[in-house]
Chains A and B, each alone.
Chain A
């Protein structure tokens, strides 16, 4: 067996394992330069592996990997289908793009003695997000979720060198995040009581055979509410603006592009693959509670963004409204809606990643994130400013940007479901998005630069990641075949329920039953 075959056989495990190993190795070396090199290598490896897995499952089909040589439902299994391969790609690609940027940005924003620990925490957070996505075991989701959350709190608190409010933001996030995770565990406990299993496939089978009862329903509620706290569904979003505003710029970009997406994926997985939407209760919760909240989020988030003083707060509130779009697509409960949700998961990751990186670049040069302080930067930092315009257009959903594709599919889904008011809401909230994006553009291009301030463009290592994401959000706006096709496969895999059921391609060796 050649090394390539071996790597191929263990791909589902290695995707998570390589970043996980990189964190302690970084700690052992304890050297800043080595830490960066190790982190970047691990992140790239994991991106290549997840790309390979996406190609394997792109046409449908499921990969299963039995950890420890024990077959599920007894053993822990990693299970990859189109939906989570797609999310793995989002997480690993964003991480790989953000890391080179982080090197410069962190040197500026974080105390030098914390740099090694920063990379270790970053990789742990990355590991957690990948693990949540890859695993097919319900309790494993919780463990990885907490790995990523705990390291996220540390990463947010590292912003304290810039602004002490990072500390209180991290604390708020810690309290709310832990409550969310604990709710999730309560839900899992009830699910375990009702089914006697923790393997998602097995739980789905047991639930499908039996009658629905109160235990299952409350488990559903606890899991959905717990995860809603993690992905900042509208009334549970209090932690998000603070955390994204005061975290170091690279961290904001990474989190905004990945953390909420992964939490949304978990909800999707539980709603569609584990509980299934056949039951009245689950359908009603999704349609009559989550859908109105998604619509409210679209408007409230955009409005708050319009009145934000800090550019990062503006982007954070805009994230809340964009999460509303994703949730809206999902709650339509049809194949096109789910596709819209998945496409937007991807497109928003690119767009918001680019925007946060660009604003971070401005902070790197001017030292301020306040919108009025950005006056006249359009001339002084032309490349960074142009990328903000592209990102902004994509947030609005202007044609030939990624945001347009998601909104187009979302509108289609709304008409397919016969809910034309939803389509109107989408258009109206986009109009508010125009307002807050225009605020940025106006300050950047139409206002004169204050006298005596001369700033130059940021160095290449920062500009390239920004533009990689900005160009990607144009590319996937023009050539939407790949994203829409992958999302459609993912949506169909989710709607089929049961996480692929019994038949899966087993990678590695088959486990003992």
Chain B
């Protein structure tokens, strides 16, 4: 009887609440709650290896990422692709294990191990169930210290890289990207982002082993551990597996990228009969620790950072020139760039490029609406919060902050600084960092159909380039 009364009381109040719900418009919501990365502990081994631990006990998992200074910028242009091959080959054989045995061992700790070459560093990543963290660190230590680069695996890698290169070169967007970085970072190691047939031929066992010996060293390297692991357990396991690692001096930072030409230049790679023109265009941007970075981040959001942005709404939804368009900020250790990318129908190429440059100019000339700014801010804040949902996301953020040498509180103040951005501050940042008249513009498409039409976008003649941007 008593329970029945309670139940009906509950229904009555529910019905009352329901009557007052206004379905005609979206409910008003409050600001997003602050997001903080869990606290971290840091220490250094005697050999110079820096260790960062973020204890995160939300899931019984642990991940480890070792960042070694160097990466693709550490190898000369004629060795393009060698850094990627080196990274891939780390888990293809060691002094005591074949590639299958490495894969089996990773399966037995409930995870995986892999590596890749970023522009400024090698990243070796492993993950495991947390009760098997020791086995994971043991294998991680083995692959970075004692890779054997078996001859058969190296030649297989060469063969696969050639096939991948051929397949990639069939994609206009790939070619446009290669040419864009070649020009935007001209004269700098960052300019090379893809191998060539010749550079792949130079990926020989002894040369890979020599590059590994030169670059893989504890000094300057950082091991980031995230997950269900406490300080004392982590400290003894890292000591056990990494303290006897020895090496020379770390690879030094690359120099800043030289200032690019101050006049807009259009580069064209001819792809006869292509039904689309792939555009990459951009200019240097602010580093993430710049005082105006968040203003520029929101400016990019308003311009082309989400589905609701100006470029998507206008170029895709209203004009229908393309299915895909977007702009983003990219960061290397000593260079940042604002980059817009879109494949458009060949007939619409000139109109689309004109419209994109027009949007850039408008970002400089007048402040966006308060609504646009609010929308870009909540989109960015929401995406940031969702990224920290997983250990992988937390590890990625911590690693990025360390590798890019951002302030330690960069992510803890992220949402607050984002929320402080105003329409006026967006316009001011756009006026400095969106420079349509000075952009590097790359087009990949049918030159017969587009070369003349693109000529009006540059005072100099359109520059024809080859498959590697040269």
User: Do chains A and B stick together as partners?
Assistant: no
Binding site for A on B (CB under 8 A): none
Binding site for B on A (CB under 8 A): none
